[in-house]
Amino acid sequence: MINRFTSVQHKLMYLPISLPRASAAAKRNQLPPWAGKKKSKARLITISPSDGRWHGKWNSDYTFSIQELQLHDLPDDVQKDTDVSVALSIQKHAGLGLSVEGKITTCFTRKCCNCCTPYLREINTTFKVWILPSTRQIREYSSNHHHQLPDIGADDPSVIYVKPGYEANLDPLIQDNIRLATSVEETCSESCNNSQPKLHHLGARNRASIERRWHKLLELKKNNL
């Protein structure tokens, strides 16, 4: 009897243990909220052409930093914590859509492109855009009422078409206006603009480094001849 019990116990020790498998849905629920999800950029300024809360004309003001506007590609001397003010004047046109006039203002320190002196750079730029529903009624309304619309094309930046139930995202438009304004090189003063560019002394160390690089280029040129 004892030998039989020992034999049974010996077999149980080597039997494979099968655990219940969790379903794919259960595994997904066990993952942390951030796992398996692609983080999308938060939209800062959105407008819906079908918004019924407003009638006629209204204004909206916003303030964001360069960092919040995702303007990481600006020059390094632009402070990322600089505030940017966006003022919108929105007008609803019955049966048509919305016309938006925007004003962007900000101020930050830049280096003069002539004398490299830090100065306070002010940006004050405006834009205008139409937000229209992407339906055929918009074209019929325009032709019947002879409404003054811009030349609408597929790549027209002054028109944003929005599907029913969706909102227009104005962030790219604001970002492009700021990029365009900062890309223009300006001087610190009018007198500096009229003066000749200054030559900065490189110093013996920098001069020797530049001369070594030129020497290598000359050697490569001689070898290729």
Collapse the DSSP code of 88 into the 3-class scheme (helix H, G, I; strand E, B; otherwise coil) and give the result: strand
Quote the pTM value.
0.60
Are residues 71 and 64 in contact, defined by beta-carbon separation less than 8 angstroms? no
Residue 212 has, within 13 A of its CA and on its CB side, a CA count of 6
Q: In a structure prediction context, what are the per-residue pLDDT tens digits for the chain, which is 225 residues long?
A: 545 545 545 554 554 555 455 554 444 455 444 444 445 567 889 988 776 566 788 899 999 999 999 998 888 778 889 999 999 999 988 778 899 999 999 998 888 888 888 888 899 999 999 998 876 555 555 555 555 444 444 566 788 888 888 889 999 999 999 999 888 878 888 888 777 655 555 555 555 554 555 555 666 656 665
Instruction: Give the residue extent of every domain in the chain.
Output: 49-183
Half-sphere exposure of 105 (CA within 13 A, CB side): 6
